[in-house]
Amino acid sequence: MADLQQVPSKMCGCPDCLIDFPPEQHGHRPPQTDGCRGPWRLVFRTADRRWRSKTFPTLSGAHQFRAQLADGGRHAA
Ligand SMILES: [Zn+2]
């Protein structure tokens, strides 16, 4: 199993990120109205049953990696 979640970014101006990283402390950025621009973090289990996490700049990158995990990691680049 793998768990995918978006991580707030101080470069992002969506409402959630403005709460997590107030502009007064992290610098002003334009409001982000079409969704969060933060990276995606995938928490997954390796073949030896350890939990690991990996961060991806894009959702499609995370999906790609997760698809490889589903393959048993045999197609990992
Ligand atoms: Zn955001």
The pTM of the whole model exceeds 0.85: no
Ligand 1 centroid vs 26 CA: distance in angstroms?
Answer: 13
Distance from the CA of 61 to the center of ligand 1, in angstroms?
18
pLDDT digits (tens, 9 = 90+) for 35-65: 999 999 999 998 899 999 999 999 999 999 9
Contact assessment for residue 59 and residue 40, using Cβ atoms and an 8 Å cutoff: yes
- Separation of 20 CA from ligand 1 center, angstroms? 9
Give the sheet arrangement for strand 40-45, strand by strand: 2-6, 40-45, 51-56
What is the CA(33)–ligand 1 centre distance, in A? 9
The reported pLDDT for the residue numbered 29 is 95
36 C-alpha to ligand 1 centroid (Å): 3
Give the model's confidence band at 1: pLDDT under 50 very low, under 70 low, under 90 confident, else very high: low
